[in-house]
Amino acid sequence: MSPRFEWEASNGERSRCLNAMANVAVLEAAARETTELLLQNACFRRYAPGEVLYREGEPATAVFFLVDGVLRIFQTSARGVEYSPKIFRATCHLGDLPMLAGFPDYRSSVAALTPAIAAAVPAALVEERLRLDHALCFDWLRLMARKHAMTMDSDRQSVFGGLMARVANVLLSYADVFGQPGRRVITIDHPLSYQRLAEQVGCTRRGAINAMQTLVERGAAQTGSDGWAIEEQLLRESLTPGRLGVAYTDRRDPDES
């Protein structure tokens, strides 16, 4: 069996995708047999911005390895309001929680923020290798705990900081992923309209407008011809303490011990 590509990938593209997946952090300590089996059973697909990888409630049949691009995880209320608790950037793995928890379906939806490439691997195969490959299992546990710790921080800020903290999380995450550093501010080089912001923080468009107006008045954000820019330090200092930002990658951050 060999990996599948759902587009006419060149040899160079195939090599880059396979290499990126083989070097995802969760596979660093995996046995060679494990990595080869996962690669052989992987189905690589390109995703356009806005395209959904999987939706909440769908059968959780695959684990995904993001090898290029940025995704957002989101949940939708009965009224159709969306909330994004986390943004994923390559390289990382996702969609594994139902498998680990024994749930039959995905608990959230995931869509591409930028052009992205992800590999889907049968969840049953991943579970089998976790039972047999102890090094893989330990690293998987470590990264799952890291995701959970970030989710706890985000939840705390959402509860105690409310809408303003959720807006700050999204702005800081976009600045982290799409930011163009300046002398005093970071310009977010990615479209972020009031409507898109509202969809990611779980509020109405009017609520997003009011929140951004407040941040502008505080001097923590500003708008211009190139889009939003933030005063990162001021934004962090003026809101709920803790690790603001919901951008996640399996790669270890430089400031982590």
- What is the domain partition of the chain in residue ranges? 4-150, 162-245
Q: Cα–Cα distance between 138 and 160 in angstroms, integer?
A: 33
4-150 placed in CATH 2.60.40.10: no
pLDDT tens, 83-139? 888 889 999 999 999 999 999 999 999 999 999 999 999 999 999 999 999 999 999
pLDDT tens, 206-233? 999 999 999 999 889 988 667 788 888 8
H runs (alpha helix) in the chain: 11-22, 32-40, 97-101, 123-132, 134-178, 194-201, 205-218, 232-237
Q: Cα–Cα distance between 20 and 171 in angstroms, integer?
A: 28
Question: Is the pLDDT confidence value at 53 over 70?
Answer: yes
Q: Which helix (H) or strand (E) holds 184?
A: none
The angle at the Cα of 187, spanning 183 to 189, to the nearest 5 degrees, equals 140
Question: Is the pLDDT confidence value at 44 over 80?
Answer: yes
**Structure confidence at residue 76 as a pLDDT band (50, 70, 90):** confident
Residues 6+ apart with CB under 8 A from 193: none
Percentage of residues of the chain with pLDDT beyond 90: 53
Amino acid at 164: M
Structure tokens at 105: 């379906």
CA 65, distance to chain mean position in Å, is 11
- Residue with the two structure tokens 């970030």: 150
Average pLDDT for residues 234-255, to the nearest whole number? 66
Virtual CA dihedral for 187, 88, 58, 30, nearest 10 degrees? 170
Of 83 and 23, more confident: 23
Burial (0-12, 13-18, 19+ Cβ within 10 Å), 100: middle
**Residue 203: helix, strand or coil by DSSP?**
coil
What pLDDT sits at residue 255? 46
Structure tokens at 227: 């889009």
**Structure confidence at residue 160 as a pLDDT band (50, 70, 90):** confident
Of 30-34, 75-79, 156-160, minimum mean pLDDT range: 156-160
Structure tokens at 147: 């995701």
Average pLDDT for residues 183-200, to the nearest whole number? 85
According to DSSP, the residues that pair with 68 across neighbouring strands are 117
- Report the topology of domain 162-245: Arc Repressor Mutant, subunit A (1.10.10)
**Structure confidence at residue 33 as a pLDDT band (50, 70, 90):** very high
- For helices 134-178 and 123-132, give the axis angle rounded to 10 degrees: 130
Q: Cα–Cα distance between 180 and 187 in angstroms, integer?
A: 5
**Structure confidence at residue 254 as a pLDDT band (50, 70, 90):** very low
**Structure confidence at residue 253 as a pLDDT band (50, 70, 90):** low
